[in-house]
Chain A
Amino acid sequence: MDKNYRKIIYLSFPPGRSSQPLVCNLARNFNLTFNILKAQITPRQEGFMTLEISGDEENFHKGSEYLKEQGVRVTPVAQKITRNEESCMHCGMCTSLCPTRALAVNAATRCVDFDAEKCSACGMCVRVCPVRAMEVDLENGVLQ
Protein backbone atom coordinates (compact mmCIF):
# COMPACT_ATOMS: atom_id res chain seq x y z
CA MET A 1 0.00 0.00 0.00
CA ASP A 2 1.19 3.45 -0.97
CA LYS A 3 2.10 5.67 1.99
CA ASN A 4 1.99 8.86 -0.12
CA TYR A 5 -1.34 8.26 -1.76
CA ARG A 6 -3.03 11.28 -3.33
CA LYS A 7 -6.44 11.45 -4.92
CA ILE A 8 -8.99 14.07 -5.88
CA ILE A 9 -12.55 13.02 -5.07
CA TYR A 10 -15.96 14.50 -5.51
CA LEU A 11 -18.43 14.18 -2.65
CA SER A 12 -22.21 14.49 -2.88
CA PHE A 13 -24.04 14.98 0.41
CA PRO A 14 -27.75 14.20 0.54
CA PRO A 15 -30.04 16.87 2.01
CA GLY A 16 -29.51 17.05 5.77
CA ARG A 17 -26.01 15.54 5.68
CA SER A 18 -24.37 18.69 4.42
CA SER A 19 -24.81 20.40 7.77
CA GLN A 20 -22.88 17.74 9.68
CA PRO A 21 -19.13 17.74 10.30
CA LEU A 22 -17.99 14.64 8.41
CA VAL A 23 -14.98 15.71 6.41
CA CYS A 24 -12.97 16.79 9.47
CA ASN A 25 -13.16 13.17 10.69
CA LEU A 26 -10.97 12.14 7.78
CA ALA A 27 -8.16 13.96 9.56
CA ARG A 28 -9.17 13.09 13.12
CA ASN A 29 -9.90 9.39 12.68
CA PHE A 30 -8.00 8.36 9.57
CA ASN A 31 -4.91 10.56 9.65
CA LEU A 32 -5.64 11.91 6.16
CA THR A 33 -4.79 15.39 4.97
CA PHE A 34 -7.46 17.09 2.91
CA ASN A 35 -7.56 20.22 0.85
CA ILE A 36 -10.97 21.60 -0.05
CA LEU A 37 -10.82 22.65 -3.71
CA LYS A 38 -14.44 23.51 -4.08
CA ALA A 39 -17.56 23.37 -1.92
CA GLN A 40 -21.17 24.25 -2.46
CA ILE A 41 -24.53 23.83 -0.73
CA THR A 42 -27.54 24.10 -2.99
CA PRO A 43 -30.88 25.66 -2.01
CA ARG A 44 -32.18 22.09 -1.66
CA GLN A 45 -29.61 21.53 1.12
CA GLU A 46 -27.54 19.10 -0.93
CA GLY A 47 -23.82 19.54 -0.59
CA PHE A 48 -21.06 19.09 -3.16
CA MET A 49 -17.40 19.15 -2.38
CA THR A 50 -14.21 18.53 -4.31
CA LEU A 51 -11.45 17.30 -2.02
CA GLU A 52 -7.82 16.54 -2.59
CA ILE A 53 -6.82 13.83 -0.14
CA SER A 54 -3.34 12.65 0.70
CA GLY A 55 -2.02 10.11 3.14
CA ASP A 56 -1.79 6.34 3.54
CA GLU A 57 -3.68 4.44 0.83
CA GLU A 58 -5.23 2.03 3.33
CA ASN A 59 -6.47 4.95 5.41
CA PHE A 60 -7.84 6.59 2.30
CA HIS A 61 -10.00 3.55 1.61
CA LYS A 62 -11.13 3.39 5.26
CA GLY A 63 -11.98 7.11 5.21
CA SER A 64 -13.79 6.70 1.97
CA GLU A 65 -15.83 3.83 3.43
CA TYR A 66 -16.66 5.98 6.46
CA LEU A 67 -18.05 8.73 4.23
CA LYS A 68 -20.12 6.21 2.29
CA GLU A 69 -21.52 4.81 5.55
CA GLN A 70 -22.64 8.33 6.39
CA GLY A 71 -24.60 8.48 3.15
CA VAL A 72 -22.10 10.53 1.19
CA ARG A 73 -21.53 9.55 -2.44
CA VAL A 74 -17.81 9.43 -3.27
CA THR A 75 -16.65 9.63 -6.88
CA PRO A 76 -13.12 10.03 -8.17
CA VAL A 77 -12.99 13.33 -10.05
CA ALA A 78 -11.15 11.64 -12.91
CA GLN A 79 -14.42 9.91 -13.82
CA LYS A 80 -16.19 13.23 -14.06
CA ILE A 81 -14.02 14.86 -16.68
CA THR A 82 -13.90 13.99 -20.32
CA ARG A 83 -12.22 15.44 -23.34
CA ASN A 84 -13.75 15.06 -26.76
CA GLU A 85 -10.67 13.82 -28.58
CA GLU A 86 -12.25 14.38 -31.99
CA SER A 87 -12.86 18.00 -31.22
CA CYS A 88 -9.66 18.97 -29.36
CA MET A 89 -7.35 21.01 -31.62
CA HIS A 90 -4.40 20.85 -29.21
CA CYS A 91 -4.11 24.62 -29.37
CA GLY A 92 -3.10 24.92 -25.72
CA MET A 93 -5.39 27.69 -24.53
CA CYS A 94 -6.78 25.58 -21.65
CA THR A 95 -3.29 25.29 -20.18
CA SER A 96 -3.34 29.02 -19.40
CA LEU A 97 -5.89 28.57 -16.61
CA CYS A 98 -5.54 24.93 -15.53
CA PRO A 99 -4.55 25.24 -11.85
CA THR A 100 -3.28 21.69 -11.36
CA ARG A 101 -1.45 21.17 -14.68
CA ALA A 102 -3.81 18.29 -15.49
CA LEU A 103 -3.79 19.89 -18.93
CA ALA A 104 -0.25 20.59 -20.12
CA VAL A 105 1.52 20.95 -23.44
CA ASN A 106 3.81 18.00 -24.10
CA ALA A 107 7.12 19.57 -25.12
CA ALA A 108 8.04 16.70 -27.42
CA THR A 109 4.79 16.10 -29.28
CA ARG A 110 3.29 19.60 -28.91
CA CYS A 111 0.01 17.90 -28.03
CA VAL A 112 -1.99 18.95 -24.99
CA ASP A 113 -1.84 15.97 -22.63
CA PHE A 114 -4.75 15.47 -20.26
CA ASP A 115 -4.04 13.71 -16.97
CA ALA A 116 -7.47 13.19 -15.40
CA GLU A 117 -5.87 12.07 -12.12
CA LYS A 118 -4.51 15.57 -11.54
CA CYS A 119 -7.78 17.29 -12.44
CA SER A 120 -9.69 19.08 -9.67
CA ALA A 121 -12.79 19.58 -11.82
CA CYS A 122 -12.65 23.34 -11.39
CA GLY A 123 -14.20 23.73 -14.82
CA MET A 124 -11.96 26.56 -16.06
CA CYS A 125 -11.01 24.60 -19.18
CA VAL A 126 -14.67 24.03 -19.97
CA ARG A 127 -15.22 27.77 -20.04
CA VAL A 128 -12.20 28.74 -22.10
CA CYS A 129 -11.87 25.88 -24.60
CA PRO A 130 -12.59 27.55 -27.96
CA VAL A 131 -14.22 24.40 -29.36
CA ARG A 132 -15.80 23.20 -26.09
CA ALA A 133 -13.90 19.95 -26.13
CA MET A 134 -13.81 19.66 -22.32
CA GLU A 135 -16.80 18.44 -20.36
CA VAL A 136 -17.21 18.25 -16.60
CA ASP A 137 -20.22 16.24 -15.60
CA LEU A 138 -21.21 17.07 -12.02
CA GLU A 139 -24.46 16.15 -10.33
CA ASN A 140 -25.53 19.73 -9.95
CA GLY A 141 -25.56 20.21 -13.71
CA VAL A 142 -23.11 19.89 -16.55
CA LEU A 143 -20.69 22.80 -16.41
CA GLN A 144 -20.59 24.71 -19.66
Chain B
Amino acid sequence: MEIDPFIFRLSIFMLSIFIGYYVVWSVTPSLHTPLMSVTNAISSVIIVGAIIAGLAGNTENIFNNSSIFGFLAISLAAINIFGGFLVTQRMLAMYKKKKKDKQ
Protein backbone atom coordinates (compact mmCIF):
# COMPACT_ATOMS: atom_id res chain seq x y z
CA MET B 1 0.00 0.00 0.00
CA GLU B 2 1.23 3.45 -0.88
CA ILE B 3 1.76 6.14 1.73
CA ASP B 4 -0.35 9.26 1.39
CA PRO B 5 1.90 12.29 0.55
CA PHE B 6 0.15 14.07 3.41
CA ILE B 7 2.07 11.82 5.82
CA PHE B 8 5.35 13.02 4.34
CA ARG B 9 4.30 16.64 4.80
CA LEU B 10 3.22 15.86 8.34
CA SER B 11 6.65 14.33 8.99
CA ILE B 12 8.38 17.45 7.70
CA PHE B 13 6.08 19.55 9.87
CA MET B 14 6.71 17.56 13.06
CA LEU B 15 10.47 17.44 12.57
CA SER B 16 10.54 21.17 11.82
CA ILE B 17 8.77 21.87 15.10
CA PHE B 18 11.56 20.02 16.89
CA ILE B 19 14.23 21.85 14.92
CA GLY B 20 12.48 25.11 15.80
CA TYR B 21 12.38 24.10 19.44
CA TYR B 22 16.11 23.50 19.71
CA VAL B 23 17.16 26.37 17.48
CA VAL B 24 15.03 28.92 19.30
CA TRP B 25 16.20 27.83 22.74
CA SER B 26 19.73 28.57 21.61
CA VAL B 27 18.82 32.14 20.64
CA THR B 28 20.36 34.55 23.11
CA PRO B 29 17.69 36.46 25.09
CA SER B 30 19.17 39.80 24.08
CA LEU B 31 18.18 39.02 20.48
CA HIS B 32 14.58 38.07 21.19
CA THR B 33 13.21 41.19 19.52
CA PRO B 34 15.12 40.59 16.26
CA LEU B 35 13.97 36.97 16.51
CA MET B 36 10.36 38.12 16.45
CA SER B 37 10.88 40.49 13.54
CA VAL B 38 12.75 37.91 11.48
CA THR B 39 10.16 35.21 12.14
CA ASN B 40 7.64 37.76 10.91
CA ALA B 41 9.58 38.17 7.72
CA ILE B 42 10.06 34.47 7.02
CA SER B 43 6.48 33.51 7.79
CA SER B 44 5.55 35.86 4.97
CA VAL B 45 6.86 33.21 2.59
CA ILE B 46 3.10 32.72 2.41
CA ILE B 47 3.57 35.11 -0.52
CA VAL B 48 4.19 32.05 -2.72
CA GLY B 49 0.55 31.08 -2.16
CA ALA B 50 -0.51 34.65 -2.82
CA ILE B 51 1.36 34.73 -6.15
CA ILE B 52 -0.28 31.50 -7.31
CA ALA B 53 -3.65 32.88 -6.24
CA GLY B 54 -3.06 36.17 -8.03
CA LEU B 55 -2.06 34.52 -11.29
CA ALA B 56 -5.04 32.18 -11.21
CA GLY B 57 -7.21 34.72 -13.07
CA ASN B 58 -7.46 34.20 -16.82
CA THR B 59 -5.93 36.62 -19.31
CA GLU B 60 -9.18 38.46 -20.20
CA ASN B 61 -10.06 39.00 -16.60
CA ILE B 62 -6.99 39.35 -14.41
CA PHE B 63 -8.93 40.58 -11.41
CA ASN B 64 -11.65 38.07 -10.72
CA ASN B 65 -13.13 37.59 -7.28
CA SER B 66 -10.52 34.99 -6.32
CA SER B 67 -7.35 36.51 -7.76
CA ILE B 68 -7.98 39.93 -6.21
CA PHE B 69 -7.50 38.36 -2.78
CA GLY B 70 -4.26 36.90 -4.06
CA PHE B 71 -3.03 40.31 -5.22
CA LEU B 72 -3.96 41.92 -1.90
CA ALA B 73 -2.15 39.14 -0.05
CA ILE B 74 0.95 39.75 -2.20
CA SER B 75 1.09 43.36 -1.00
CA LEU B 76 0.49 42.44 2.64
CA ALA B 77 3.16 39.75 2.59
CA ALA B 78 5.58 42.06 0.75
CA ILE B 79 5.19 44.71 3.46
CA ASN B 80 6.20 42.07 5.96
CA ILE B 81 9.06 40.64 3.95
CA PHE B 82 10.74 43.96 3.23
CA GLY B 83 9.77 45.53 6.53
CA GLY B 84 10.72 42.46 8.57
CA PHE B 85 14.13 41.80 7.06
CA LEU B 86 15.12 45.46 6.89
CA VAL B 87 14.11 46.31 10.43
CA THR B 88 15.95 43.20 11.64
CA GLN B 89 19.01 44.31 9.70
CA ARG B 90 18.72 47.76 11.25
CA MET B 91 18.46 46.34 14.75
CA LEU B 92 21.29 43.86 14.35
CA ALA B 93 23.60 46.57 13.04
CA MET B 94 23.24 48.28 16.42
CA TYR B 95 24.50 45.37 18.49
CA LYS B 96 28.15 46.15 19.06
CA LYS B 97 30.81 44.77 21.31
CA LYS B 98 32.80 46.87 23.72
CA LYS B 99 35.51 48.79 21.92
CA LYS B 100 38.94 47.39 22.70
CA ASP B 101 40.66 50.78 22.92
CA LYS B 102 38.84 52.76 25.57
CA GLN B 103 39.18 56.49 25.23
A binds B: no
